[in-house]
Structure 1
């Protein structure tokens, strides 16, 4: 579908309604600090029925400045309802700064008609919303989009075939690929699937319903995630309320026709609309943001990237003043021709380990890679191995899998954590470098190249990079998981993509590479038998052997240890 021939209808006089924004939104707005002062009094048109592509009514709220004049419009399409926190964060705050804000509930959510279906209707319904905007007397033809998570997906859906009015996008901790949200190399991202299912199903019903559902999930999480078969646990607890849950978990292959249309990666690969991207280093969608950035850059699209010290949720909480300021500056620059708020470089990243920000011209800054090698005595060294003997072996028991601890989750347990509870387990192996003589900066994608063999032929490998301080505390920096299928005793080479990071390992600190067979329930446990994780009823311990051709791959040129005489 092509929208280039559309023209806005002739504009007529418009008399703004007198309703004020909801009291809950105004009360919450009054508690926020470090946000810009309001420039306009805000009005509110609630409950507008906007036709979807199939004619279903999409319930929509309109926030606007109570000031004479023309203002650009922001379209915000969400399956999470139109109340708190969306009404103050997007409706009220952006209208205060001089924007019409159209906050719309997706099909089947928040009172909108039709049936909610993951990903299948967002492009068509986004264009239907723009067609409705063209008929509004207050719409002046300048359109932007903004929002986080699924609200990012609705932006990418519109960007597949951007209408001519679309002049700017601000995607915050945003999603473009449902398969990558729900699976990692064929292994279900179990905890995130369950949390996302509850969020999409209940949040649009109000915060009380959402809180009750989340509490029930947390109380029953262990029973759900350890049920045999796994499907019986979540079906009994959630599947009737989350009708798509079993479908997304039952299709672990990215090439399955089920996932056709679920990824909107091609939108970024051809986009010319200026786009701002915001993520956090422990955001569950951080890898998707960096994929979006790479595609936009290769397409020659004007783009900005901000990566902060946040999780998926904390970016919209303690990180919100900076996230809001970044998005506001971008939208003003491209919708209001006011570039005064833009930062001087297209990329800004927070450096973990030193709690500082860096402005960069691009990401990543260097294609170079440094290899660190594991040794049989648990060390991590820059010296390649001199023999081919196996480095170590450990037994992964799916009846007692290593637990997930921190990292990029949707829950409040996400982020950096003390890894001591993991690293004392016999089924978690670590390789630790010597104290660094000087700081080591790691900026870019981290990966592990593994030579692995197993005695059953079926396993997963979880790899994590940690920072060990002078007191011996080990803190996770980034990680990843890959599926391993081996045949006989010969090792299979596996690459574990461990996400990206911007991190400074201080002088005196040590690098630590952590390996195990699981991070449960963040990822569904591998039963060790070759059966699908959802249907397995039997569990088999797996002996995993790491071979000498393995290495931790870090971006950059590395640094010398404290006891090294030189480079």
Structure 2
């Protein structure tokens, strides 16, 4: 392989922010002697009481996570709050390494907390994303002090690289952030902001240029590239095998990490003790907490505090303080309804819900349409539609930042005009149609390439042609051949399709750069130098879209 010419890579380094005057920092010793930087915020009352613990890699003092404001919210309600930089990040000592130290570091931090004079021995954990994952890591150790947790927009498999399962021919599509995260957030103690040119191959060569520019390598990246070492996220055992802890799971309808959390939900429901202790908060938000009811801009913590933190306080009041309050098992929002209120239910999906199905087909004019079909009805008609996947000209991702999807919430009608996107649109509904629950596409697909990515999007098409995303899902198929049956999970939603609007299904083979496009050669996506177009196919008669809906 010829070595590409070295290009200039610009790197912006962000170190720790100033210590909060409202906190006292301690260097808390772990069992191996490494000390972790830990801020303690105390309420006005001096007597011992329950504590909220957050362990995060994004700087306990930084502007991005606004921990001082969050601590002020909790302490004003009588809680002590402890916020810690995880090992190897910002002011904490130790090696910068994803995932593997969080279980026992969490255990040791819990031990430290309950031995402080301001602690009553009761601890809850709270946080988003990676600091939701650190809650599950601590829970896996079975520490007696952990009495409740609130993991938001996260998952026990957060950031896990897709890998073939023996005997299976499908797996998740690789997100660009999978390998980029260890090169930015977990390269060293600071955050390193830089850009990869996703059109310049091989991608791995740019990583080596980055290492040269910063003068160091990323241990996490090297353990994952080109093929991942089996890192033990939970050395004490699976968190689902640990003693059950009351858990409030916050999942966003537009969160790009939601598939991992829905996977956790399914695991919890298989275990009676955990199922008994699980509560769901299903919100119309993206990963960055932007609300569908206020799209277009990032909201400050002061503006969203009651929505963002209020349910956690309510949950902790019950499970840390023993308040006598009835917390619904499920609270959920119906996006696009004009009413942002949380609706209560005993289970999810709702008992009154049922399945509606549509089949993609071609009209007499060869236009893609969705026609109603009875769930489970046998296939009718025939036909195969094809498109060309070309990694050199992939279907573009509709937003610049997939984690903040609702800040842009784009009109996606332009994607429907591409030759490499299949489009099927239903007739407009005559009355509101409320989607509330899981969505899936059962399909038979094929390719002349060695592997095939299938990207499925369900959109709301307004009378003026505007198309907004409702739900999506994607899978990689290994050796698809001419006809391969696959089920694409589009996740769950709570969404009202207004009268006069229509559902639109699109099928494609790329969504770049959010996902690393398949080169068409079967090579490693970060090592491939050339790309080869592949012809993809969808067997219409064997494909059906199924949504969970509510009665009129």
What secondary structure does 2:276 align onto? coil
| 8 Å Cα contact 2:458-2:472 kept in structure 1 | yes
1:103-149 Cα distance to aligned partner (Å, 9 max, x none): 12211112222112211111111111122234322221111111111
In structure 2, the residue matched to 1:8 is none
Q: How many Å separate the matches in 2 of 1:44 and 1:25?
A: 6
The answer to which structure has the higher helix fraction is 1
Is 2:509 the partner of 1:534?
A: no
In structure 1, the residue matched to 2:174 is 188
Q: Structure 2 vs 1, CA of residues 355 and 64 (structure 1 numbering), >3 Å: closer, same or farther?
A: same
In structure 1, the residue matched to 2:94 is 114
The worse-fitting range, judged by mean Cα deviation, of 312-321 and 543-552 is 312-321
What secondary structure does 2:542 align onto? coil
Q: How many Å separate the matches in 2 of 1:263 and 1:351?
A: 39
| Residue 267 (structure 1) shift | 1.5
Is 2:44 the partner of 1:44?
A: no
In structure 1, the residue matched to 2:204 is 231
In structure 1, the residue matched to 2:499 is 507
Is 2:418 the partner of 1:425?
A: yes
Q: How many Å separate the matches in 1 of 2:549 and 2:307?
A: 28
In structure 1, the residue matched to 2:369 is 379
1:49-102 Cα distance to aligned partner (Å, 9 max, x none): 211121111111111113232321122212222203343243332122211212
Matching of residues 73-88 of structure 1 within 5 Å: 73-84=51-62, 85-88=65-68
1:493-548 Cα distance to aligned partner (Å, 9 max, x none): 12211121111111211110011110001110101111121221121111111102
Is 2:95 the partner of 1:101?
A: no
| Residue 555 (structure 1) shift | 2.0
Q: Structure 2 vs 1, CA of residues 145 and 456 (structure 1 numbering), >3 Å: closer, same or farther?
A: closer
Is 2:38 the partner of 1:55?
A: no
| TM-score, length of structure 2 as denominator length | 0.83
Is 2:477 the partner of 1:494?
A: no
In structure 2, the residue matched to 1:336 is 321
| 8 Å Cα contact 1:179-1:262 kept in structure 2 | no
In structure 2, the residue matched to 1:175 is 155
| TM-score, length of structure 1 as denominator length | 0.81
Q: How many Å separate the matches in 2 of 1:142 and 1:386?
A: 60
Out of 428, 446, 455, the position equivalent to 1:435 is 428
What secondary structure does 2:308 align onto? helix
In structure 1, the residue matched to 2:9 is none
| 8 Å Cα contact 1:153-1:175 kept in structure 2 | yes
| Aligned length in residues | 500
Is 2:509 the partner of 1:517?
A: yes
Is 2:335 the partner of 1:352?
A: yes
In structure 2, the residue matched to 1:308 is 283
The worse-fitting range, judged by mean Cα deviation, of 290-299 and 540-549 is 290-299
| Residue 450 (structure 1) shift | 1.6
1:6-40 Cα distance to aligned partner (Å, 9 max, x none): xxxxxxxxxxxxxxxx99858xxxxxxxxxxxxxx
In structure 2, the residue matched to 1:7 is none
Out of 290, 297, 309, the position equivalent to 1:324 is 309
In structure 1, the residue matched to 2:296 is none
Q: How many Å separate the matches in 2 of 1:487 and 1:155?
A: 38
| Residue 486 (structure 1) shift | 4.2
Out of 458, 466, 469, the position equivalent to 1:476 is 469
| Structure 1 stretches lacking a partner, 5+ long | 1-21, 27-42, 560-567
Out of 277, 283, 287, the position equivalent to 2:255 is 283
Q: Structure 2 vs 1, CA of residues 71 and 346 (structure 1 numbering), >3 Å: closer, same or farther?
A: same
CA RMSD of aligned residues (A): 2.9
In structure 2, the residue matched to 1:64 is 42
| 8 Å Cα contact 1:528-1:540 kept in structure 2 | yes
